[in-house]
Structure 1
Amino acid sequence: MLMLWRLPRSGSFLALAIWLLCGLPHSSGGEFLAENPRHLRQLKAQVRAAQFLSKATFGPKQDDIESLAERIGQIGYRRATSEWIDRQFALPPTSHQQVALDIIDLDGRQPDQDQIGIANYRYQAWWHIALTGEDQLRQRVAWALSQIFVIGDSGNNFNNNDKRAIGGGEETIPDWMGMSNYYDMLAGGADGSYRELLEQVTYHPCMGVWLSSVRNRKANLNQGRFPDENYAREIMQLFSVGLYEMHQDGRLKVNDNGELIPTYDNAQIKELARLFTGFKYKHNASNSFYVNLNYGEPMQIHIQEHDNNYNYSEEPGAPASKTVFGTTLPPLPDVLTAEAIGEEIDAGLDAIADHPNVAPFICRLLIQRLVKSNPSRAYLQRVTRIFNDNGRGQRGDLKAVVKAILTDPELYRGQRLIRRTGPLRLQVVTRGTEYSRLREPINRVTALIRAMRPTSDYGGGYMMLSAAIGNDLEQMPFRSPSVFNYYLPDFQPPGELIGYTPTRRNPYDSLFAPEFQILNAVSSNRTINRLRSFCLNRFVQYSMRKGRCRISFDLAPEIELARDLENLDTILERFDLLLCNGTLRESTKTIIKDAVIAETTGRDWMNVDRVEQMLLAVVICPDCAVEQ
C-alpha cells in the first residue's frame, strides 16, 4: 500500500515510513531487558498494565502504568484491574455541558452568543475531558455507548445558539448543548442499568429529532397518516436485538432449512411505531403538541397523539393492547392518562430489554469498541452470562458487564509474555489476527497526546482540539454520518483474506474489521500527515473559538538520553510500552535506529531530531496502529 505524503526531512526516512506502513506478518513483539528476576516481574506487570489501560482509557500515561503495575505485583492482575475499575466508577462523572460552559466563561462569552460558532465548544469540551478527565473509564465507555446509541449533530437546530422560555420562570439550554446533554446521559449511565439507559435514550429529545420520534402522531386512516416507524425499527436493529436471532455465544441461529431467523418483522415494527407516538418537547405551561424545542429535558407524552389502541380510527372493536416480542402490553383505559401511557411504554421497553438477543448483541458491540474486533465464542458467553445475571439477580448491569469485558483473560491473551535469558529479558509475542483490531483514529490521537506528558498554553490548562481534525481522521465525536455509526460492526475489507482461516473459536466463521471502513487512501494520507506534524513539532495546535490552543509534548528526558546513541534502545522501549503495549518488533526497532542514526549524524540538535523521528516512526508503524 503506497501512500503519498509530504517528505518528512529526508528521502531515506520516507522510504522507511513507506516500508513500515506496508507491514510485516505479526509474530514476535518487543523485548525489554531486565536487570534481575524482580525487575523482569515488574516489566511483565507494566506491559499488562499498559495493555489494559490502552483499552480502559483514552491512552495510558507512564505514572498510571507504574501505579497499576505495582498493584498487579501486589495482588495479581485480575484483582488489581477489578479494583481499578471500581475506583474509576466511584469518581463523579465529568460533565461535558459544564466543561463547555466553563470554557465559554473563561473566554468571556455567553453560551447563547451569536456569530461565533458557539457549537464548537462542545468539541473543545470533549477533547479536554478525553485528554485530562480523571474518570477515564466512564468516558471511554461513554465513547463506546455513543457508537451504539448513535446520534449526529446534523439534526434540526443542533448547532443553534437559541434558547427559549418554557414557563415557570425556566429556560431551555441553548440548542447546541443538547448533544452534550445526551453524551452526559450516556456517561452517567455507563455503570447503570441497560434497561434504564434504553429508556433515557428513548425519551431524550436529541434522539427524538435524530430518529423522528418527537411529534410522532398516531395514525388517522381518513387522512392517510400512519405513525413514523424510524425509531421503532432502529431501537430493535441497532440498540437492542439486531437483525437475527443469536445464541448466547454470538453464533447466529438457523431454522430447519438452514436459514437465519429474523428477530422481528414488519408487523412488529408497526406495533412499536404505535407505541412510540405522542412524544413532544417538555414545556411547563403549554399543552400544545407543537411546543418549541427543548433539548435539555426528557420528552413528554401528548395524550391526544398517543395511539389509543382503537385501530387508528377512534372506533372500538380493535385489540385493546399492543404486543412486543410476544408480550402483550397493559391495556389502555378509555380515558387516557399520562400515567397509563407511561406504563405502556415501560412495558414495551421491558419486553425489548428482556429479549434473549440483547445480551450477545450489546456485549459484542461493547467488546468491539473496548477490546477487539472478533471476540471468541467463549469470551462472549462469559460476558453475556454477566449481562443476564450479575450474580445478584440483576439483568443488564453495565458496570458488571464492563468489568467482565475488561478483566476477562481474552483481553490480554493477544500477547504472550516470555522470560528469555542470555541476556535476561522479557519477550512479547503477539498472537495476531483474531486477537487484534485496528485502533480508532480518535484513540490513536488521544493516546499519543496523553503519553507525551502534555501541557497546554490555553487559560485554565484546557487541552483542546477543534472539529477540523475530523476531516483528517474520518471520525469526530458528535459527528456520526448516520445512525449506523462511523463504521459497521460487520464490515469486512474487500478482497480475500489470503492464507488465514478463522478458528473454531470464532462464532461467525468469518472475520470483521469495523475500523477499516474509514481507512482509505485519503484518510490514511491525512492521518499520517497529521501525526507527522504532531511528532516533528512536538506539539498539537488548533484554532479555538477564541485564540488558539497549543498542547506541548515534554520529551526532555528522551532528548537528553538521545545525546548518546547507546540510549536509543531505552527510548524505543519507552515509546513501545506507552504506544504499542510492548508489541513493537525488534526488527522494526532496528530499522528505526539504523535510519535515525544515518539521518542525524553530524547535524545540529541531532538528539532532538532523533527523538522526533523515532516517535513518528513508532506512531505510524503497524505495531502501533494495530492493537493486540
Structure 2
Amino acid sequence: MLRDSEIAVADNPPAEPQPEPAPLAAAAALTALLAACGGGGGGDAPGPAPAPVPAPAPPPVGAAEAARFLAQATPGAGKGEILAVQAGGFAAWIEAQFALPQSQSHYDWLAAHGYNDEKYRNNATGLDNTIWRKLIASPDGLRQRVTLALSEICVVSVLGVSTPWRQFAVANYLDLLENNAFGNYRTLLRQISLSTAMGYYLTFRGNAKANPATGSEPDENYARELMQLMTLGLYKLNADGTPQASETYGQADVSGLARVFTGWDLDVSGLASPLPPDVHRRPMAQVASRYESGSKSFLGTTIAAATAAPAALDAALDTLFGHPNLPPFIGRQMIQRLVTSNPSPAYVARVAAAFADNGAGVRGDMKALVRAILLDAEARDLVTASAPSFGKLREPVTRFLNWARAFGAASAGDTWSVNDLSDPATKLGQSPMRSPSVFNFFRPGYVPPNSAIAAGGLAAPEFQITTESSVAGYVNFMQLAVSGAGIGDVKSGYPTLLPLAADSRALLAELNLVLAANQLSATTLATLAAALDSVAAGSDSGKLNRIWAALTLVLASPEYIVQK
C-alpha cells in the first residue's frame, strides 16, 4: 500500500487559476440599488404597497443542455429523462430525485435471491449482481451516481474483506452509502466506522489497546486513512481547496486517533454459530477488555481518560467533521467525480461553503452539496465547458452504465449476471467495490506523466487506469455489450432506435444527443455516417447490425469519452 509521502505531490497539486464564470447577479444587484434609492420626501402617507412581482421563470433548457446535465448527475439517462429535465428545469429535477424512494437494498436482494445459502458462505457470489442491478435499473439515478462517487472516496473493496459472507458485508456497506447519499456526511462517517466491512478492510476489527508487556500498539490503518482519504487530506487547505504548506496531521495524531478505534468487533449477541450473514447488518459492538480507556490526543483535541468508547468515537468524528479542511476536501473530490477534474478554486469555495452551511446552519448536508455542485455556474455554463481545462475522462464503468441506462438494458430473469469487469484486456478494467487499494481505482490528483495534461498543470484522475490494453479491451467489451449477445443476461432490444436505423444520420443524431450531449463534431458524425452506410439496413437484422455498429463507434469516440 502506498504511504502518505508517496502520493502527497500527486494528490495535492497546486490549483491552476482559471477564469471565473460571468456574474449572474447583476440584475438582482441593480434591482436592490434602485430600491435603496427610492422615494423622496416629506411627510406624505405612503401609498398602497405594490403588488409582488412573480419570480421569473427559469430559462428554457435545451435538449443538449439537459443531456449534459444528466451525464453529470446520473450513471446514464435516456430520452425520457432528457425531456423531463427540459420540462421542469435542473433544480426541479434534482428535487424530484431527492423525493424518490429507494429501491430494494443490496442486502435484502441477496437474501431474497438465496445467496444466504451455506454454499455461498466463503465467497462473494451475488455481490456483483446486485451492484449492477441497482446501477443499471434503479430509477433514482442521482442517488446511484452519488453513491458510486462516495464508494470511490470512502473505499471498501471486497478484495480486502476477509470474512465469511463477505458479499453481505460489502452489500450492507454499499447500502449505508446509499442511505446517506442525501443525508448528512457526519452520520455516514459514524455508520461506516462501525460497519463490519470497513472493520475488516482497514483491519481495525478486533483492534486491541496497547500492551506494554509485548510492545504491541493499536492498529493505525483506519485512523490514518480516515483522515487522509475520507475527511481531511494530507495538507491544510484554504477554503477554496488550494493547499497550504503545512501538513494536516502527523504521526502522533494518527497514534492518538487509533486509540479511539480499539475494542470494536462483531456484534454476535444472540446469534447462532457458525455466524449467519446477519452479523454484517449489525454495527460493530464494544469489547471492553480491548478498549483503550486512557486519554486520546490528536489534532489539538484530547478525549479524557475513562470516556466510554461510543462517546469517544463521537468526539473523534466531531473533531474530524468540524475541521476546516473537510468541506473543500470532500467538495472538490465530489466535483471531480461528477463534473470536472480541475474545478476552479472559486467553484470549490462555493461548493465547500454550501457543505459547511446549507443555509440553515447545518454542516455536512449532502443535498446541499449535490445542489451546489450541479447547479453552479461553472457546471452549467457552456462557455466554461468549452475551455480545454474543463471536463473529465468518463470512467469505464460510467460509459457502460451510460449505454445500459440510456437504452433500457435489463435482465430478463432479475439475475444481473454481469459479474466482475476488472480485467482491462477483455472488460472494463474497473468494477464497483473491487478497487485494488484504499486509494480507489485512481487518485484524485493523478497527472499522466510526460503528457500535455501534465504540461498544462492539470490533473486527470481516470487516466491512471487508461492504458493501451484497457483502450482496446473497452472497445471490444462494449462491442459485445451493445450487440444481441449482451453481457451476461443484460441486453437491450433498442425499440427507440429501430425506427431510426434506416437513416444513419438520424440514428447518429439520436446517439449524439442521448450519449454525448451533442459533443460529437460534424466531422466525426460525417465519418461515422459514411461507415454506417456500408451496413445494409433493409431488414430487421440489418437495422440491428447498424444500431450495434453506431453504438460501438459513438462509445469509442474520444469526443464522447471526454465528458465536457
Per the normalisation by structure 2, the TM-score is 0.83
Q: Give me the CA root mean square deviation.
A: 2.6
Q: Which position in structure 1 is the counterpart of 2:217? A: 226
Instruction: Report the equivalent of 1:344.
Output: 312
Partner Cα separation in structure 2 for residue 354 and residue 620 of structure 1: 44
Contact 1:142-1:190 at 8 Å conserved across structures? yes
Note if contact 2:453-2:460 (Cα within 8 Å) is conserved in structure 1.
no
User: Is 1:199 matched with 2:190?
Assistant: yes
1:132–1:463 Cα contact (<8 Å) kept: no
User: What are structure 2's unaligned runs of at least 5 residues?
Assistant: 1-58
| Matched residue count | 500
**Using the alignment, how far apart are the partners of 1:622 and 1:389 within structure 2?**
39
The residue number in structure 1 matching 2:155 is 150
SS in 1 for 2:491: strand
Letter in 2 for 1:478: M
**Pair 1:528-2:475 in alignment:** yes
1:401-445 alpha-carbon deviations (Å, 9 max, x no partner): 1111111122223x34xxxxxxxxxxxx96143211110111100
Match of 1:49 in 2: 66
The reply on whether 1:511 has 2:458 as its aligned counterpart is yes
Distance apart, 1:187 and its partner CA: 0.4
Q: Establish whether residue 574 from structure 1 lines up as the match of residue 513 from structure 2.
A: no
User: What is the match of residue 275 of structure 1?
Assistant: 260
> Structure 1's 492 and 359: CA in aligned 2 closer, same or farther, altered over 3 A?
same
- CA drift of 1:285 comes to 5.4
CA contact (8 A) 1:539 1:553 kept: no
Q: Select which of 79, 101, 106 maps to 1:96.
A: 106
CA contact (8 A) 1:281 1:291 kept: no
1:409-448 superposed matches below 5 A: 409-413=377-381, 415-416=382-383, 431-448=386-403
| One of 62, 72, 82 as aligned partner of 1:65 | 82
The structure-2 alpha-carbon separation of the partners of 1:455 and 1:303, relative to structure 1 and needing over 3 Å to count, comes to: closer
1:459-538 aligned within 5 A: 459-460=413-414, 463-468=416-421, 472-497=427-452, 501=456, 510-535=457-482, 537-538=483-484
Cα deviation digits, residues 150-192 of structure 1 (max 9, x gap): 011123444x4xxxxxxxxxxxxx4431100000001001111
Deviation of the 1:378 alpha carbon? 1.1
- Note closer, same or farther for the CA distance 1:252–1:455 as it changes in structure 2 (3 Å cut): closer
1:541 and 2:487 aligned? yes
State the alpha-carbon separation in 1 of the partners of residues 206 and 504 from structure 2: 63
CA pair 127-495 structure 1, distance change in 2 beyond 3 A: same
The residue number in structure 2 matching 1:561 is 500
Counterpart amino acid of 1:625? I
Distance, in Å, in 2 between the alignment partners of 1:601 and 1:190 is 45
SS class of match (2:243): coil
Give the letter aligned to residue 450 of structure 1: R
CA, structure 1 residues 202+587, in 2 after alignment: closer, same or farther (shift >3 Å)? Answer: same
* Residues 353 and 481 of structure 1: CA distance in aligned 2, closer, same or farther (over 3 Å): same
- Corresponding residue SS for 1:328: strand
- Distance apart, 1:390 and its partner CA: 0.6
- Structure 2 CA distance for aligned equivalents of residues 235 and 48 of structure 1: 37
Q: What is the CA deviation profile of residues 2-21 of structure 1, one whole-angstrom value per residue up to 9, with x for unaligned ones?
A: xxxxxxxxxxxxxxxxxxxx
Q: Is the 8 A contact 1:55 1:371 kept in 2?
A: yes
Q: Which residue of 1 aligns with 2:4?
A: none
Q: Which runs of 5+ in 1 are unaligned?
A: 1-40, 72-79, 161-173, 254-259, 310-320, 334-339, 417-428, 502-509, 543-548
What does 1:343-422 align with in structure 2 at a 5 Å threshold? 343-413=311-381, 415-416=382-383
SS in structure 2 at match of 1:245: strand
Change (3 A) 1:475 1:220: same
The answer (yes or no) to whether the contact 1:204–1:298 under 8 Å persists in 2 is yes
TM, length-normalised to structure 1: 0.75
Alpha carbons 2:422, 2:434 under 8 Å: kept = no
Q: Name 1:83's counterpart in structure 2.
A: 92
Post-superposition Cα deviations, 1:546-584, rounded to whole Å, max 9, x if no partner, equal xxx2422315x5444343xxx332211110111101111
Identity %: 34
SS in 2 for 1:261: strand
| In 2: Cα distance, 1:202 partner to 1:352 partner | 13
Q: Quick check: 1:111–1:118 contact (8 Å CA) kept in 2?
A: no
Q: Distance in 2 between matches of 1:197 and 1:116?
A: 28
* Compared CA separation, residues 517 and 469, structure 1 to 2 (3 A): closer
Residue aligned with 2:160, SS: coil
Matched, 1:584 2:523: no
Deviations 1:318-344 (A, max 9, x none): xxx3223112224426xxxxxx22212
By relative contact order (CA 8 Å, sep 6+), the higher-ranking structure is 1
Give distance in 2, aligned partners of 1:463 and 1:216.
37
The answer on 1:594 being equivalent to 2:530 is: yes
Distance 1:292 1:532 in 2: 38
Is 1:324 the equivalent of 2:298? Answer: yes
- Stretches (4+) displaced over 6 A: 115-118, 290-293, 601-604
Q: Per-residue deviation at 1:598?
A: 4.2
